Structure 1
Amino acid sequence: MQYSNPGQRWLRHATVEDIPAIEKVFAHARQVMAEGGNPRQWGTKYPYPEMIAADVRNGNTYLLVDNAGETPDATNGTFEAPELEEVRGDHERIIGLFSLFDGEDPAYGDINGAWLDNDPYMTIHRVASSGLGKRAASDIISWCMRHYHNVRIDTGPNNFAMQHILETHHFIRCGTIGVLDNQNPDMDESRLAYHRHDH
């Protein structure tokens, strides 16, 4: 699909060739979180290179992109909601990214609280913005909820921006979960657990 406005966004699966750019987006996201008072959600290392590569290789990573590389002012304005289109723009920019998983998440088995239900669900992980455009996380969450009706996600207790986005999109805070990461001692082990199920 070709978009008449280069600022129009779409989603596509990441490929191995995208990994260096993905790593830069995550580095930017860690910096923004640290500067915003949330340095311990991802620490200084997460997500790890082997994790990034596995997500891409297994088809779990999605990129939110536009084609405004030579016309950055084109991102100003209102466009159609992004959809999945497996095309690469000639002047493509990564606006944001995330990983999406189908099936039970091992980290979600033990919750201090209670999920909304035990029905099959999708899990969103590793949402990050490149800083090249606004509302990246909101576009990502909106797309997921347009296509999947039972979705879980977690975020750091100090990630107030993501908490606001999730609650704006009618996710319910269900409690806390723990994540143990021996590779990254400067990372918090506690996460807020969110769930939305549209019946």
Structure 2
Amino acid sequence: MSRYAMETARWIRHATMDDFEAIMPVYAYARKRMAETGNPRQWGDKYPLPERIREDIAGGHTMLLVDDAAGMDQIPEDPAYPEPELDEHKGSHERIIGVFALFHDPEPDYKVIDGSWLDDRPYTTIHRVAASGLGRHAAGDLLDWSMRRYENIRADTGLKNYAMQHILETHGFTRCGNIIMPENKEIENVRVAYQRHDRPLDLAERERAAKHLVAV
């Protein structure tokens, strides 16, 4: 592999507590971009709180999309690189391109939905997706990586987060309705819920999904 390819290739790894200080500015950048694009209430000024980030890392939930291009004099804006795969090594000139949290237990806030999930089978949840602004297509890479590993995925995003809604829908996620997050005066508590799975729906699931799509 050439030096160029090595430096621009991306990979996925679990975050450790050593990454905490590098993760904080990524979420700060994401909050700033949300506010600039008319979505200031999804995360407000503080979400996710430092204790939430530490808890995600400690539980092995936080995943990082990284490259090793920090030492390059000129970093290509949109290089061609292979699909990122899981690789737990830390680059010597590493940059965080994106971050998200991955959970395999049922999400308590998804029990009640104004709408209907595609099914009630076990699922993986994606939370707290953020890009650092250092590379393009971060959210898409994270979703693609997750979709290659898990057949049933749920996620939610803000009512005004049209960019993330577009990314989810172009990656085959179905808009299932709205959910209510715990009351927090600093952020909005209504979120748009999405689900995607790669197995065929049975008849009852197809009918439920069709009814919801008509209602939406």
Distance in 1, Cα, partners of 2:197 & 2:112? 19
**What's the counterpart of residue 78 of structure 1?**
80
**What's the counterpart of residue 143 of structure 1?**
145
**What's the counterpart of residue 34 of structure 1?**
35
**What's the counterpart of residue 57 of structure 2?**
56
Cα distance per residue 1:50-70 (max 9 Å; x no partner): 110000001000000000001
* Alignment check: 8 A CA contact 1:5 1:74 kept: no
**What's the counterpart of residue 117 of structure 2?**
115
Distance in 2, Cα, partners of 1:110 & 1:181? 15
Distance in 1, Cα, partners of 2:189 & 2:8? 38
Of structures 1 and 2, the larger Rg is shown by 2
Shift of 1:180: 1.7
* Alignment check: 8 A CA contact 1:68 1:75 kept: no
Distance in 2, Cα, partners of 1:170 & 1:74? 29
SS in 2 for 1:69: coil
**What's the counterpart of residue 191 of structure 2?**
191
SS in 2 for 1:76: coil
Give 2:176's match in structure 1, choosing from 174, 177, 187: 174
Partner amino acid, structure 2, of 1:194: Y
Shift of 1:75: 5.1
* Alignment check: 8 A CA contact 1:12 1:84 kept: yes
Distance in 2, Cα, partners of 1:168 & 1:160? 12
Cα distance per residue 1:142-174 (max 9 Å; x no partner): 100000000000000100000000000010000
TM-score by length of structure 1 reads 0.95
Unpaired segments ≥5 residues, structure 1? none
Q: Percent identity?
A: 53
Partner amino acid, structure 2, of 1:173: R
Cα distance per residue 1:102-126 (max 9 Å; x no partner): 0210000000000000000000000
Cα distance per residue 1:84-115 (max 9 Å; x no partner): 10000000000000000002100000000000
Distance in 2, Cα, partners of 1:27 & 1:151? 26
Partner amino acid, structure 2, of 1:66: D
* Alignment check: 8 A CA contact 1:152 1:196 kept: yes
Cα distance per residue 1:22-80 (max 9 Å; x no partner): 11100010000001100000011100111100000010000000000011524532110
SS in 2 for 1:59: coil
CA RMSD of aligned residues (A): 1.5
Unpaired segments ≥5 residues, structure 2? 200-216
Partner amino acid, structure 2, of 1:29: A
TM-score by length of structure 2 reads 0.88
For the pair 1:17 / 2:35, whether they are aligned, the reply is: no
Distance in 2, Cα, partners of 1:53 & 1:152? 22
* Alignment check: 8 A CA contact 1:123 1:153 kept: yes
Distance in 1, Cα, partners of 2:122 & 2:164? 24
Partner amino acid, structure 1, of 2:7: P
SS in 1 for 2:160: coil
Distance in 1, Cα, partners of 2:129 & 2:45? 16
